[in-house]
Amino acid sequence: MQNFTLEAQLRSDLGKGASRRLRHANSIPAVIYGGNAEPQSLTFNHDDILKAIEFEAFYTSILNINIDGKTVKAVAKDIQRHAYKPKVLHMDLQRVSENEKIHMNIPIHFINGDVSPGVKGGGQLTHMMSDVEVICMAKDLPEYIELDVSGLNIGDTLHISDLPLPEGVTSVELSHGDDHNQPVAAVHKTRGMSADDDAGEEEAPSSEED
């Protein structure tokens, strides 16, 4: 997993006016909370954060936050962006310990969809979920979950229970019972396909006379 180290400074100047001044100075207001410590208000260099969030792994990694010379481990819980400009407005971080459990949303990577029998037969692969909420020890946090859909035929569906979660990682939804086993991906008939398209071609009638 990629390593992310970010430099932060404590801030005491709070409020909307202070946040606006920080943004004009190319800084980002942030807060870090959790663990056995009180919440702290921080600032980050905007360009450093903008560069870091280009990587998908940033959102599921244990981040090393250097706060005035002291390193704290944390995960990104919320990142507020500008509606249309490439700017980050605010960031929430949660302190973590590698030996405590955390809840995180992990992206799902779908592979081999182009070779599945259903897609090759003219069906459409649909992704019902793009990520899955898991609970695990911080040290076991996966960067992503890879789901192989190469075996799907038209009409087939994969559910949360089909996700190959690493050892020590469990689905939050499945912890609530089997009725929370939501669909993740499926191959459907496309518009215009006949009912027999997924059943194979019918045998052509013989042209020989009896």
pLDDT digits (tens, 9 = 90+) for 76-115: 999 999 888 888 989 999 999 877 899 999 999 999 999 9
CATH 2.40.240.10-classified regions of the chain = 5-96
Q: How far is CA 30 from CA 35, 71, 206, in A?
A: 17, 16, 76
Residue with more model confidence, 3 or 194 = 3
Query: 14: which residues sit within 8 A by CB, 6+ positions away?
Result: 41
Rounded Cα distance, 124 and 14, in Å: 51
CATH 2.170.120.20-classified regions of the chain = 102-188
Task: Give CA 168 to chain center in angstroms.
Answer: 18
Query: Is 14 exposed, middle or buried (CB count within 10 Å of its CB: 0-12, 13-18, 19+)?
Result: exposed
List, in sequence order, every residue forming a beta bridge with 109; answer none if it has no partner. 146
Alpha-helix residue ranges (DSSP H) falling in the chain? 16-24, 46-52, 117-120
pLDDT of residue 208: 47
pLDDT of residue 198: 46
Dihedral over Cα of 49, 51, 54, 60: its sign: negative
Domain 5-96, what architecture?
Beta Barrel (2.40)
> What pTM does this model have?
0.81
Count the Cβ atoms, other than its own, within 10 Å of residue 30. 25
Query: 87: which residues sit within 8 A by CB, 6+ positions away?
Result: 23, 46, 50, 81
The mean per-residue pLDDT over the stretch 117-141 comes to: 94
Rounded Cα distance, 99 and 81, in Å: 31
Rounded Cα distance, 149 and 12, in Å: 51
Of all residues in the chain, what percent carry a pLDDT higher than 70?
88
pLDDT at 23 > cutoff 80: no
Q: Write the CATH number of the domain with boundaries 102-188.
A: 2.170.120.20
pLDDT digits 0-9 by tens, 155-165: 999 999 999 99
The mean per-residue pLDDT over the stretch 55-70 comes to: 93
